[in-house]
Amino acid sequence: MKEEDKYSASEVLMNLPCGLVILENGYRLEMQYHNIEMAKLCGYRPEEFKNRFKNNFMLLIYPEDRSAFERMLEDCQYRMRLTDRNFRLINQDGSIGWGRFQVRFLSLKHTKSVYYCTVDDITISKKREMIIQKKTDDIKRHYRFLSNLYQNVPCGILQCSLEQRPRILDINPRGLAIFGYKEKESFLEKTAGQLFNVFLEEQDGHFPEFDEGKTQFECRFRTEDNKPGWIGGTGQGFIRPDGAKVLQIAFFDITDDKLRDQILHRQQLELEVTYAKLKMAFEQTQLLMWEIDVPTGNIILQEEDARKYHFPKLIKDHLAFTDENQIIHPDFRKRQLEVLKRLRAGESPVEISMVVKGRDQEFHWQKITYTTFKDENGMPKTAIGVAQDQSGEMDALQKYWSEVQYRKVQLKDAIEVLEYDMVTEELKASDLTVIPKGLKKAIPNIRDYLNHLLLNIHPDDIKKMKFLNNYNILVNELEAGKRGEETTVECRISSPSFKYPGYHWMKALFNFTVDIKTKHLIMMVTIWDINKEKIEQIKLQEKAQRDPLTHLWNREAFRLFVDQKLLRIVDGKSYQAFFLMDIDDFKSVNDTYGHGTGDKAICFVADALQSQFRREDAVARLGGDEFVAYMTKVPNMEDVLRKGKQICKSMNGFMDDGRVIPISVSVGIAVAPHHGTVNSVLYEHADRALYYAKSLGKNQCQLFNPHWLEESK
């Protein structure tokens, strides 16, 4: 090290930017050493400070703090660690100041204890502790040097020359740790001994020149592994005896504080953006916002709203103002008083619906919401009010209650009425609820209820309820508007809860609505017992579809059956056969035996035909002596022709009053899809085959041949 770079520990201690004393505690607490800053801290000149107290340090401590100061020294010696406390000091002018004492026990000298103590003036920071707490934390930690414990100061200490490019002279271990280094040699090698190589940026290209006064600063730096950080601290320059200018810097790692500042700044920007968005939203909607001073009842409007409604920005005695301008409907004045009372009681939020005059000078329903803010004493100070046009909701509410009354009348004869919330999936309490007799309570979960319902539906009717098979798909369809608000299903249900054996016909009505308060999807299930009416209806339908003489299907019922089966035909998989039949010489039967016997002959043929066909096939009487039959899922043409011949053989006559009445039929057959896929075409082709069969004689069966069409041309 060069000669001009050398310095003594006493110089460092004497010129520390904080007060420093070495105390010896024996018969009394005496000062063995103090630096210049210690005298300045109390407003004394160094010589005056020493003579004034005659080394009795306790005279400097405020009387009420002296016992605590002695206990601190005892605690410091007992625990053998640095002790940090704040005490009041008596200044030269008699005023009371505050000092931050950092004391370490050094050793026992004979029977006396030796301590070193650094003292910082924290009078200003003490008074401003609530406002500038962070700054006081940065400036509290000052130098605690003693000659033999210089390296243990709890802050970074760096000394450098005051040149255009300051050279680093020394740095303590704490400073190395802040910069991310373990060894001083590594630090000096990495920075090339240059102060500015430590920092990521300089202050105006260089550090300001320091004099004997203090200078606070903040700088960015890079650690050994090039991670960025922030330090902040205090620097003070002094001139060494050899005339060299030296800068001594005490600094702390304030990276976390800076990060917090950046976060706060970012949050502040986000708040400003959010406020701008809210302001734009209020301007684009019919929302009105204002502030009310709760104790006085005065209202402060937003400038835009005051201009829009031609109101003053500050409205004093808003109750009188609204009465004078007839803003609130007279019927709701009591509600105004109630709201103010609730706000003054500290309630928040406060919601109320009132009829308020709008810009069109007409009264409208408004939903008003107040949010209360309290002062530091917990008393309500201000409240923010927001008004939103509620006319549509009130109309919907009125419509809703009208529908409720209508439902009460409509649901009078229902045996089960349940409402489920499709969001919470729970049973909804309602005065419309009807629980089936035999059940103590309804099934509380909507999924369990729907599963229970599906398990008890007749297998032939389960397709009618397929929209309930997947609950999630049902909810998605409702939310997307792909399903109507109401679905009615008539089906057969078997359930012990309804107290009847077997299956009963029920009408189930599923209403899907939105709850006016929660905005949740609601499913209302209503079930009526329609078994008696349905059975009568089925009987009437069957009667309308049957031939009155033979009780076979009539022409219309047969047509519907064939049309339905033709829709499901698959080419190449199987055949469907259309049979057209009539009684041979039926006119002679009527003429010979009478019309009564003729009717018996028709019934005989009807019974014989039914015995020849399967349950899934259809047999019908078209009228007179003309019959038709339709077979599905026929494997081949040979089976079709074989069935036609069996029909002919089955007609061997019947007995009537002891007489054998000879009966025979002719059969014409058309096969789908080969001979057609339309009912009328199949009938026409079967009729051609029947005509050809009759031309061959009685009791004949003939399959349609497409070549006949070419021959007829």
Given a contact cutoff of 8 angstroms between Cβ atoms, the answer to whether 545 and 444 are in contact is no
pLDDT in tens, 396-418: 555 555 555 555 555 667 878 88
Q: What is the pLDDT of residue 402?
A: 52
The C-alpha R_g of the chain, in whole angstroms, comes to 53
Q: Which of the residue ranges 141-145, 422-426, 537-541, 659-663 would you say has the lowest mean pLDDT?
A: 141-145
Q: What is the pLDDT of residue 142?
A: 42
Q: What is the dihedral of CA 339, 292, 383, 301, to 10 degrees?
A: 120
Q: What is the pLDDT of residue 209?
A: 52
Q: What is the dihedral of CA 375, 377, 380, 382, to 10 degrees?
A: -10
Alpha carbon separation from 488 to 450, 452, 465, 467, 508 (Å, rounded): 15, 18, 10, 12, 6
Residue scoring higher pLDDT (359 or 182): 182
Scanning 635-706, the segments in alpha helix (DSSP H) are 637-650, 679-695
Given a contact cutoff of 8 angstroms between Cβ atoms, the answer to whether 172 and 159 are in contact is no
Dump the DSSP string for 541-562.
HHHHHB-TTT-SB-HHHHHHHH
Q: What is the pLDDT of residue 501?
A: 72
Report residue 4's pLDDT band, with 50, 70 and 90 as the boundaries.
Answer: very low
Task: Write phi, then psi, for 343 (nearest 5 degrees).
Answer: -65, -45
Q: Which of the residue ranges 88-102, 184-198, 317-331 would you say has the lowest mean pLDDT?
A: 317-331
Do strands 701-703 and 665-672 pair parallel, antiparallel, or not at all (unpaired)? parallel
Report residue 620's pLDDT band, with 50, 70 and 90 as the boundaries.
Answer: very high
Q: What is the pLDDT of residue 645?
A: 93
Report residue 437's pLDDT band, with 50, 70 and 90 as the boundaries.
Answer: low
The average pLDDT across 89-105 equals 88
How far is the C-alpha of 536 from the C-alpha of 73, rounded, in Å? 107
Q: What is the pLDDT of residue 519?
A: 82
How far is the C-alpha of 143 from the C-alpha of 13, rounded, in Å? 9
Average pLDDT, the chain: 80
Dump the DSSP string for 615-628.
TTSEEEEEETTEEE
pLDDT in tens, 590-612: 888 888 999 999 999 999 999 99
What are the tokens at 305? 């709203």
Is residue 565 scored above 50 in pLDDT? yes
Report residue 203's pLDDT band, with 50, 70 and 90 as the boundaries.
Answer: very low
Given a contact cutoff of 8 angstroms between Cβ atoms, the answer to whether 388 and 287 are in contact is yes
pLDDT in tens, 30-87: 888 888 888 888 888 877 877 777 778 888 889 999 999 989 888 888 888 888 889 9
Segment (H or E) for 21? strand 19-25
pLDDT in tens, 272-322: 776 666 666 555 555 677 788 888 888 887 777 777 777 787 887 777 777
Q: What is the pLDDT of residue 356?
A: 77
Q: What is the pLDDT of residue 184?
A: 84
3-state class (DSSP) for residue 190: helix
